[in-house]
Copies of this chain bind each other. A is one copy, B any other.
Amino acid sequence: MATMHDVARLAQVSVSTVSYVLTGTRPISQATRNKVLAAMAQLDYQPNAMARGLASRRSRILGLLMPMDERGLGATETAFVTGAAAAASVAGYHLVLSPVGGGDLDDLRRLASQRMLDGVVLMEVQLADERVTVLQEAGVPLVLIGRTGDTSTLSYVDIDFDQTVREAVAHLVGLGHRRIVYVNHSAATLASGYGPALRTRDAFTAAMTGHGLEPVMIAAEDSAAGGRAALAAAFAQAPELTAVLAMNETAIFGILGELTGRGLSVPDDVSVVSMVTSPQVAELATPALTAMTSPGSALGRIAIEALTRHLDGPADLRHQQLLPCALEIRGSTAPPRSRQPMGADQ
- CB contacts (< 8 Å) of A74 on chain B: these are 72
Near B by CB (< 8 A), chain A positions 228-266 give 250, 253-254, 257-258, 260-261
Instruction: Give the A interface residue count (CB, 8 A).
Output: 57
Chain B residues positioned under 8 Å from A158 (CB to CB) = none
The residue that A50 contacts in the complex, of B54, B250, B260, with Cβ under 8 A, is B54
Q: Which of B54, B76, B284 contacts A250 (CB 8 A)?
A: B284
Of A108-116, A177-185, A206-214, the segment with at least 4 beta carbons within 8 Å of chain B is A108-116
A294 at the interface (CB under 8 A from B): no
- Check A50/B115 contact, CB under 8 A, given A72-B75, A75-B70, A99-B95: yes
Residues of chain B within 8 A of A278, CB atoms compared: 72
Question: Is A12 in contact with chain B by the CB < 8 A criterion?
Answer: no
Q: Which of A51, A96, A257 has the most CB of B within 10 A?
A: A96
Closest to A104 in B: B89
Question: Which stretch in A41-49, A145-153, A318-326 binds the other chain?
Answer: A41-49
| Closest partner residue, chain B, to A73 (CB atom) | B73
Decide yes or no: A284 and B253 within 8 Å by CB, A72-B75, A114-B49, A278-B72 being known contacts: yes
Any B CB within 8 A of the CB of A7: no
Query: Are B78's CB and A113's CB within 8 A?
Result: no
Confirm or deny: A269 has a beta carbon within 8 angstroms of a beta carbon on chain B: no
Residues of B within 8 A of A1 (CB): 113, 115
**Quick check: B116 and A49 within 8 Å, CB to CB?**
yes
Tallying the copies of this chain within the complex gives 2
Contacting pair A99 B82 (CB below 8 A): yes
Give Cα distance in the complex from A46 to B98, angstroms.
Answer: 19
One digit per residue, 1 when the CB lies within 8 angstroms of any chain B CB and 0 when it does not, for chain A 275-316 equals 000101001111010000000000000000000000000000
A53 at the A/B interface (Cβ < 8 Å)? yes
Which residue from chain B places its CB closest to the CB of A278 in the assembled complex? B72
Kindly state whether residue A219 has any CB partner on chain B within 8 Å.
no
Q: Which of A111-135 contact B (CB under 8 A)?
A: 111, 113-116
Report chain B residues within 8 Å CB of A94.
98, 111, 116
Q: Which residues of B contact A110 (CB under 8 A)?
A: 46
Which residues of chain B are near A47, meaning CB under 8 Å?
A: 114
Do B223 and A283 touch across chains, with their CB atoms under 8 A apart? yes
Give the docked Cα–Cα distance between A46 and B89 (Å): 29
Q: Which 4 A-B pairs have the closest CB atoms?
A: A257-B286, A96-B96, A46-B113, A97-B97
List 13 other contacts, CB 8 Å, given A85-B99, A225-B283: A49-B114, A50-B54, A54-B54, A68-B81, A71-B78, A72-B280, A73-B78, A89-B107, A97-B97, A224-B286, A250-B280, A253-B286, A254-B284
Q: List 18 A-B contacts (CB under 8 A).
A: A46-B114, A50-B59, A50-B115, A53-B53, A68-B82, A69-B78, A72-B73, A72-B74, A72-B278, A73-B77, A85-B99, A94-B98, A223-B280, A224-B283, A224-B284, A254-B286, A257-B286, A261-B286
